[in-house]
Amino acid sequence: MRFSELQQLEFPIVSQGHQADWQPALEQHLPNSSLLTQWLLDPDSLTAKLKRHCQHFSVEVLGQRPGIIRPDEAKWLTESADQEQANATIREVILCCDGKPWVFARSVFPQSALDTAALKLGQLGNKPLGAHLFAQPDLQRSRIEVSTFSAQSRIGALHQCLGYPAHSLWGRRSCFTAAGQRVLVAEVFIGESIPAQIAATLIQDNTHD
């Protein structure tokens, strides 16, 4: 792992006992920053957007292996409540711009999606998931949900392990449907990212009020 400081953190970073407070992306749930809100609500590929902000884009894979769907994730991926404990593949990565961490991304998808040849989910390696999804001709995307992550959360700990000061972070998630399969993708802005820097500034402004 290139970010050796993260070896002290167990995979998955987001575990059963650390659930976010995901809310619909309505005005009352959004940050007091139009630029940060634009990042959260951007309907296009985040991978493509990150590539426009750097010379070299890369993906650091923290892990991809079978795991248990969390209840707040199951509502997107299963048809009934009694399937909440169904197995799924969990993929967690850090998206980097010019070698610096910008996004922690967590993707969850059932075995059927992993077995679907068109999606190539079992062959991702260090390639971005978004590039595969947005290449699908029948891609559909659910509404966006947003959440904050405190400095005490697992993602907050990851952010600090990478050498960044403790503060709350913003993330978003949505469910993609393609080739008859669903893939739930959550993205939290960390590190050097513009949204993370804005989030830190918002906290400082509130402190000074």
Do 57 and 45 meet the contact criterion of CB atoms below 8 Å apart?
no
Q: Is 209 contained in some domain? A: no
Would you say 10 is a known binding-site residue? no
- The single-letter code of the amino acid at 32 is N
Judge whether 146 lies within some domain.
yes
Q: Does residue 95 form part of some domain?
A: yes
Asked whether residue 2 is marked as a ligand-binding residue, the answer is no
For the residues 39-45, what does the mean pLDDT come to? Answer: 96
Q: How far apart are CA 159 and CA 102, in angstroms?
A: 10
Which residues have a Cβ under 8 Å from the Cβ of 33 and sit 6 or more positions away? 198, 202
The answer to the question of residue 138 being in a domain is: yes
Kindly give the pairing relationship between strand 100-109 and strand 140-141: unpaired
129 is in an annotated binding site: yes
Please give the tally of structural domains in the chain. Answer: 1
pTM for this entry? 0.93
Residue 34 lies in a domain: yes
Residue 94 lies in domain: 3-13+22-204
Q: Distance between CA atoms of 77 and 89, rounded to whole angstroms?
A: 12
**pLDDT computed for residue 208 by the predictor:** 34
Q: What is the pLDDT of residue 36?
A: 97
User: What CATH number corresponds to the domain at position 27?
Assistant: 3.40.1410.10
- Please write the tens of the pLDDT for every residue from 57-79: 999 999 999 988 788 888 898 76
Structure tokens at 2: 């290139």
- Average pLDDT of the chain to the nearest whole number: 89
Give domain status of residue 113, yes or no.
yes
